[in-house]
Amino acid sequence: MREWDEEISQLLAKLNLEPAREAAIVREISQHLDDCYQEWLAGGATPAEAERRALAELGASDLLQRELRRVERPSPQEPILLGTNRRANMIADLWQDLRYGARTLMKHRGFAAAAVFTLALGISANITIFSIISDFFFKPLPVKDPDRLVLVLQKSAVWKMPHGHSWLDFRDYRERLDVFSDMLAVTLGPAHLSVAGHQPEREWIETVSGNYFSMLGVEPKLGRLFQRGEGEKPGADPIVVLSHDYWQRKFGGDPSVIGNVININGRPFTIVGVTPESFGSAQWKLAPRAFVPASMLGQAHPDGEKWLQGRGAIIFKVMARLKPGVTVAQAGAAVEIVAKQLAREYPDEHKDAKVFVAREQYCRPEPTFVEFMPVVGSVFMVMVGLVLLIACANVANLMFSRAVVRQREMGIRTAIGANRRRLIRQLLAESILLAVIAGAVGSLLAHWSGYLLTLMPAGAHLRQLKLQVIHITDSSGLFGIHC
């Protein structure tokens, strides 16, 4: 019996039909031609004559082609057919894998949500902690000539970690040292701030020496900042400078805020200025809400006067600016001489105290490098790395569980021609899609967490990590424990 498949396939080639549909039509037409061939043989035609008539009927079937074009829809040409080995455009391959991966994840939303949320938490924790480490140890302060700033710290037999100085010691160092062009003192503490029409809120404020802003080279956004000499006479300067963030949040950026009164722990303070947006503090990027002169420490806390007049209240962080040509080692030697003088004059308050000078940026390799700060940074980096590893391990377990469920799917794919490389590529595409989504969600969570840190009330603020002052106060807790 004559085989008609080749002739029929050539006839249907221009129609671009789906392979399965084309095969069905070929079988149907072939059967029709066989029937015609048998009828002509039964009517007395020779085999050659019967074949000629059948081929003539097939060749004259323009009507058949037109009808097929009308009712049959051409099959779309996919850039990649699953299971084939032909090479295709890499971008098209990836796009197809990503589309299929997206459909798969949408079909299994529970698995996708669990994997994305787990990875996002690990990523957000890493971004947040790394940004804090970067701000604390690597980024310079947004002030004038930050590379010339140093810290004057001390260690004692009681406090093993570096800490600050008393107000009286600060004044003695400032008067007796000539290796610094200027020195400032600053301490941080929580206080209750209230403005007219609002309930008091517990916020962080800085108590600073009068030259705080001038030494750092900070210009006011509005009004004026503290002047040299302010903050020297206790109770003489009931003024306050607001941070840019607090001014925007509480006063809506109102320029007429200068001269208004704000209450700090129930005491009235006159607003004289607002800091620029780029300035946070001399201690960290996240700014306190307000700045008051050191002379007003007694107004802000019942024991403030004692702290200003006693050498045992080591609550002030002392920062200095090196004179041109003076190295950190030279400054450290000069500070040690003054420290020994103070130890002889006030042996009870300076027993076994060791005073030294360190760069404001702890990451710099100076001889007086503060040893424990890199250790603290390394511990935090290891911790957040472990958090990310735990998150990845949890997601890996989810993926393994999902792989068990997909064994039948992978078996079918292998049966229809997909090789191992093709299956691995598809699984990698799905993993990349999960990672990208988790990264986006994690970055958003990190941004929100950073914003929440700036709004966190006093008593729970992470900025305490940068303080070099350790001081335990009474139960009123204005200054709490700073470390």
Question: Would you write out the chain's pLDDT as a tens digit for each of its 483 residues?
Answer: 566 677 777 777 766 677 777 777 777 777 777 777 788 788 778 888 878 777 776 665 554 555 455 445 544 444 444 444 444 466 777 788 788 888 888 888 888 888 899 989 888 888 887 777 776 666 777 788 888 889 998 877 665 666 788 888 999 999 999 999 999 999 888 888 888 777 888 888 888 988 999 999 899 999 999 887 776 676 666 899 999 888 998 888 999 999 999 998 888 899 999 999 888 776 655 568 899 988 877 665 666 677 777 787 888 889 999 999 999 899 999 999 998 898 888 888 777 778 888 887 643 333 334 445 556 667 777 887 888 888 889 888 888 888 888 888 888 878 777 788 888 888 888 888 888 998 899 888 887 776 555 544 443 333 333 333 333 333 333 333 333
Q: What share of the chain is helix, strand, coil (3-state, %, to 5)?
A: 50, 15, 35
Kindly list the domain boundaries of the chain, sorted by start residue: 5-71, 89-140+368-483, 154-325
pLDDT, residue 256, reads: 92
CA 312 to chain CA mean position, Å? 40
DSSP state of 352: T
Q: What phi and psi values does residue 160 have, to the nearest 5 degrees?
A: -75, -30
Asked whether the beta carbons of 295 and 227 are under 8 A apart, the reply is: no
How far apart CA 47 and CA 52 sit, in angstroms, is: 9
Instruction: Name the pTM for this structure.
Output: 0.59
> Where is 75: in which H helix or E strand?
none
